[in-house]
Structure 1
Amino acid sequence: MHFRRQRAGDSHRRENGCLFHHRQRLPAISLRSHYRQLRANRRKGNCRQHLQEGGQEGGPEHTVMTNRERILAVVRGGEPDRVPFAQYDGQAPIEDAWSLVGRDNIGLLRWSCVHSIQHPHCGIETIPIVREGYPGERRILHTPAGDLVEEWVREPALGTAFRRERFVKEPKDYTALRAYLEDAIVAPNVECFLRDRDQLGDDGIPHVNLPRTPFQQMWIEWADLDDFCEHLIESPGIVEECMALMAGIIRQVLEIARTVDVPYVVFGDNITAPIIGERYFRQWAVPSYRVAAEMLDVPVFVHMDGDLKPLWDAISESGVRGIDSLSPPPDNDTSPADVIRMWPEMRMYVNFPSSMHLGTPEAVRRTADEILAPAGHSGRLVIGITENMPPGAWRKSYPQIVAAIHDFGKP
């Protein structure tokens, strides 16, 4: 049996065209010819000239923004030339997407970081396994207080991995987890951010990731949700001790982030009210959000991709100024109109509802229009692809979303 051994460190997620200016709605069947002509115009270098001659409302003064400039205008409270459309890096093959809709029509958000976390007295042993015909890995986390074990199996059809076994299974496992967290050394890794920023260039911006807040980190990264909830009730002392250590690590990461010229930071928390509830959201998420808002001069975003209505009051008091992956109806319960009404300074990266990718082109277009209508003129909206799509659905959806954005016009 073969295995590789490595130092235990922080694994950061890498989950981590020219404008057209037709004010009449474009039927789906005509989009490909429009994009071909737009790419031809771009190659000829006459796109910016067309705009300067008044090809878009705003006349001679109007110039084309890059995807990066467009997203930053939303983040910084500026005036984007149109509502940005961006995907997490890797959601669709970006070169193919650019060929379909034009490079200027979809930008990139790349999960990045400004820190690293090392554990000098811990190590991870990885052993290849096969479970029910599927390949995977058995990972053994060695700590000064004992070992923890998890298993991952890859699902070939979707290209994703899922956990069959979690590191923390019973209360006694928190002793080893505590030793692992106490061993953490947080160090700057600004090179990661700078590399991503330079590689993205005008195409997008780094999505600077912070560690998850303690409650979310526990059930997503360490323990099964049901087990964790039982442990929190039955053995609160050791569990909350581990969670306090996680909060301390977040503060150390923020000390690094405040020294770097990042556009914003993101807690990749995957917040949904039915799991965390208002009590634990206020106890174990809001404090870290407030600390971040107090320490940093840039917006604090949180990946909130679930049902949020029971948390609305707490979100209002949290210091959060950006919702990453807001998932509106029909998938979840908070709409762009709700955000506009309740939180005047809140930026929103709205995930185009994953379920609607299964609809007809007309349904996709209608959904895009419904997102734009209440929020497009706010200057605080980015339409995003920040959750999984059905395989290949982007080929149908992206042209419809782009057409809706162009028909909507300047925010």
Structure 2
Amino acid sequence: MTPRERVHIAVSGGRADKIPFTVYSNKISYSDVERKLRNNGMCIIERVLSYSVVYPDIDIKTIVYDENGRHYRKTIYRTPVGELSSLVEVDDKTTWVHEYLFKSKEDYKALFFLIKNAVAVPNYKYIADFQDMRGEDYLIRDHISYEPLNYIAIQCMGLETFSYEWMDNRDEIMKLYNAQVEFSRTVYPIIADGPLKTVNYGGNYMPAFFGGKDYNKYFAPHYAEAAEILHKKGKLLGSHYDDNIKPVIYEVADSALDYIEAYDVGLNLSVSETRKIIKNKALWLNFPCAWHLESPEEIYKRTVELIKQAGNGEGFLIGITEDVPMDRWKQNYTAILNAINENS
């Protein structure tokens, strides 16, 4: 059984010949250890889009520059009703937003135009070629943009600005929200007709910010709508939940998601406790970040305990979705994979 086959079986709720171990492609470096890990069963996860987004009536300009040894990217959107811009600092492993698109209430018209003008275009050939270049120790996963309300909060405004606008100009936010809902609905069938079997919808849900009531109102319905379309074409839908989701765990259990990805038992309930509540979904862990500071021997023991708590191992995966200290990934990934190969 190949690493990719193991992942497909597990996210479908089944039990592969052993527990899958997955690593995001940007959380590992090419090396002899990386090659050995893949030979021993590790699966690398590549996250892509089977569509591109174009804005036919907007002039877009990107400026890339360095300042004090730091790399920045400024993007300017010139719409017929106003100009928007964002400023992002880019690093090898991550990005930091210095300026969001939305800066004041004067930006509502331009932001609304931007969202309404977005057009999703299938990009199947790129995905097919990309997948052909990877072997069976890679899984290529599709992605739907942030959930509509999350998109506005995280992508367009930032949480602080969103909070003020939610209280002061909620009607305007809802116009943006409804426009983003319309755009998302054009993406679902494109992904459903695409070549990839697993799809993440948004992610980074923050229970402390949105709460359970908003989850059922603004998040779960979109999962259900997307899942209905994707399931008809044999696709599986998940989301990247790397936060403490204990406040909404019953709502998550009732959602239409097929799998919960990036689940961190260092923040949440244990695997065995979670299994008692979330019974009908695959549980795709992120090996807890704090545990990477332990010795390889302790990491091995903790991995074995995770496997034991997973019971029969159906619908269970262990992954690396967050940053790991660069001087530890080789020994830690090796310890995790050894524990899986020897105990599952």
Instruction: State the TM-score bracket (shorter-chain normalisation).
Output: over 0.9
TM-score (norm 2): 0.93
Structure 2 regions of 5+ residues with no counterpart?
Answer: none
Alpha-carbon distance in 2 for matches of 1:188, 1:135 = 31
Larger Rg: 1
Alpha-carbon distance in 2 for matches of 1:97, 1:275 = 40
CA offsets, 1:333-371, max 9 Å, x none? 233223321122211221111111111112211221222
The aligned counterpart of 2:331 is 396
CA offsets, 1:372-409, max 9 Å, x none? 11115232111101111112321120111011102213
What amino acid maps onto 2:218 in structure 1? W
TM-score (norm 1): 0.78
Larger CA deviation: 110-119 vs 132-141? 132-141
Deviation at residue 193 of structure 1 after TM alignment: 2.8
Mapping for residues 92-171 of structure 1, pairs under 5 Å: 92-131=28-67, 133-154=69-90, 159-171=93-105
2:307 is the counterpart of 1:372: yes
Greater RCO, 1 or 2 (C-alpha within 8 Å, sep 6+)? 2
The aligned counterpart of 1:173 is 107
What amino acid maps onto 1:249 in structure 2? F
CA offsets, 1:11-65, max 9 Å, x none? xxxxxxxxxxxxxxxxxxxxxxxxxxxxxxxxxxxxxxxxxxxxxxxxxxxxxx1
2:122 is the counterpart of 1:185: no
Match of 1:196 among 113, 120, 130: 130
Match of 2:320 among 369, 380, 385: 385
CA contact (8 A) 1:113 1:192 kept: no
Match of 1:265 among 194, 199, 204: 199
The aligned counterpart of 1:347 is 282
The aligned counterpart of 1:280 is 214
Q: Percent identity?
A: 24
RMSD between aligned residues: 1.9
Deviation at residue 310 of structure 1 after TM alignment: 1.0
The aligned counterpart of 2:2 is 66
CA contact (8 A) 1:150 1:165 kept: yes
Deviation at residue 85 of structure 1 after TM alignment: 0.6
The aligned counterpart of 1:322 is 259
2:103 match: secondary structure? coil
CA contact (8 A) 2:52 2:120 kept: yes
Alpha-carbon distance in 2 for matches of 1:153, 1:277 = 30
What amino acid maps onto 1:239 in structure 2? I
2:170 is the counterpart of 1:236: yes
Residues 196 and 97 (structure 1 numbering): CA distance in 2 closer, same or farther, change over 3 Å? farther
Deviation at residue 94 of structure 1 after TM alignment: 4.1
Deviation at residue 212 of structure 1 after TM alignment: 0.9
Alpha-carbon distance in 1 for matches of 2:119, 2:162 = 25
Residues 101 and 299 (structure 1 numbering): CA distance in 2 closer, same or farther, change over 3 Å? closer
Alpha-carbon distance in 2 for matches of 1:261, 1:127 = 34
2:245 is the counterpart of 1:308: yes
Alpha-carbon distance in 2 for matches of 1:67, 1:191 = 24
2:312 match: secondary structure? helix
How many residue pairs are counted as aligned between the two chains?
341
Larger CA deviation: 337-346 vs 395-404? 337-346
CA contact (8 A) 1:339 1:346 kept: no
CA offsets, 1:305-350, max 9 Å, x none? 1010111122122211101111111xx1233223321122211221
CA contact (8 A) 1:124 1:139 kept: yes
Residues 246 and 81 (structure 1 numbering): CA distance in 2 closer, same or farther, change over 3 Å? same
Alpha-carbon distance in 2 for matches of 1:197, 1:340 = 33
Alpha-carbon distance in 1 for matches of 2:272, 2:187 = 33
Alpha-carbon distance in 1 for matches of 2:214, 2:205 = 11
Alpha-carbon distance in 2 for matches of 1:196, 1:176 = 35
CA contact (8 A) 1:323 1:348 kept: yes
CA offsets, 1:108-163, max 9 Å, x none? 111022222210111322224445552312221212211112212245xx653312
Residues 95 and 73 (structure 1 numbering): CA distance in 2 closer, same or farther, change over 3 Å? farther
Alpha-carbon distance in 2 for matches of 1:99, 1:130 = 34
Larger CA deviation: 239-248 vs 128-137? 128-137
Structure 1 regions of 5+ residues with no counterpart?
Answer: 1-64
CA offsets, 1:147-184, max 9 Å, x none? 112212245xx653312111112222121110001111
What amino acid maps onto 2:203 in structure 1? D
Deviation at residue 270 of structure 1 after TM alignment: 1.1
The aligned counterpart of 1:20 is none
Alpha-carbon distance in 2 for matches of 1:118, 1:307 = 35
What amino acid maps onto 2:19 in structure 1? V
